[in-house]
Amino acid sequence: MINFSLQEANPMLAPEYIPLAILFILATALGFLVVIIGNLFGPRRPSIRKAMPYESGMRPIGVGTRRTPVRFYLTAMLFILFDVEVIFFLPWAVVFRELGLSGLIEMGLFLLILLIGFIYAWKKGALEWE
């Protein structure tokens, strides 16, 4: 049957992580503390101007839920696609020396295929802003 336990020591309980835990707790507590103190002791004089959405001190222009131009979307999608490939580089980099030349060639082929896609996107004008 399946063994649902692991015999090794848990690295997350190691003593060097204790300061990190303390920092985490303190940071959370401080955040709450500031909000609570401000609410208890601060003066409260609400006005219309104060209730307005904060837009770097200026009077807000237009509605908050404006449509974003679709160009942003295209750029973001290209970014995601060419960004996610890095996920394959990381493990490759870890075992780079063991894989040697054949690993390098394989990664070169991988990049070549990506490059064709990139050239295609470029030629089709996906990188032009207008």
Partner 1 sequence: MIPLSWYLIFAAALFSIGLFGVLARKNAVAILLGVELMLNAVNVNLVAFWRYRAPNMIAGQAFAIMIFAVAAAEVAVGLSLFISIYRRRKTVVANEIDLMKW
Partner 2 sequence: MFVPFDSTMLLAILPEILLVVLAGVVLALDAAWQPEKRRWLGWLTVVGLAVAFILTATVSQPESEPRLLFGGMLRDDWLSFAFRLVFLFGAAITTLFAMDHEALGRKGEFYVLLLVSTLGMNLMASAGDLIMLYLAIETTSIPLYILAGFITTDDKSTEAGFKYLLFGAMTSAVMLYGFSLLYGFSGETNLYLLAGKLGELPMPALLGSLLLVLVGFSFKVSAVPFHFWAPDVYEGAPTPVAGFLSTASKAAGFAVLMRVLLAAFPAALPSWQGLIALLAVVTMTVGNLLALAQTNVKRLLAFSSIAHAGYILIGVVAVNAAGMNLGMASVVFYLIAYLLTNLAAFGAVATFGRVSGSDEMDAYKGLSRRSPALALVMLVAFLSLSGMPPFGGFIAKVFVFAAAVEANWIWLAVIGVLNSIIGLYYYLTLLKYVYLYRQDNLEEEQKPLPISRPYALALVLLVIGIILLGTAFNPWFEWSRTAAASLF
Binding site partner of 52, from partner 2, partner 1, none, Cβ cut-off 5-8 A by kind: none
Task: Give me the DSSP letters along 9-64.
Answer: PPGGG-GGGHHHHHHHHHHHHHHHHHHHHHHHHS-----HHHHSPPBTTBPP-S-T
Q: Which is nearer to partner 1, 87 or 101 (CB)?
A: 87
Report d(CA 52, CA 60) in Å as an integer.
8
Which residues between 70 and 109 bind partner 1 (CB under 8 A)?
70, 73, 77, 80-81, 84-85, 87-88, 91
Candidates 60, 100, 108, 117; binder of partner 2 (CB under 8 A) is 117
Binding site partner of 116, from partner 1, partner 2, none, Cβ cut-off 5-8 A by kind: partner 2
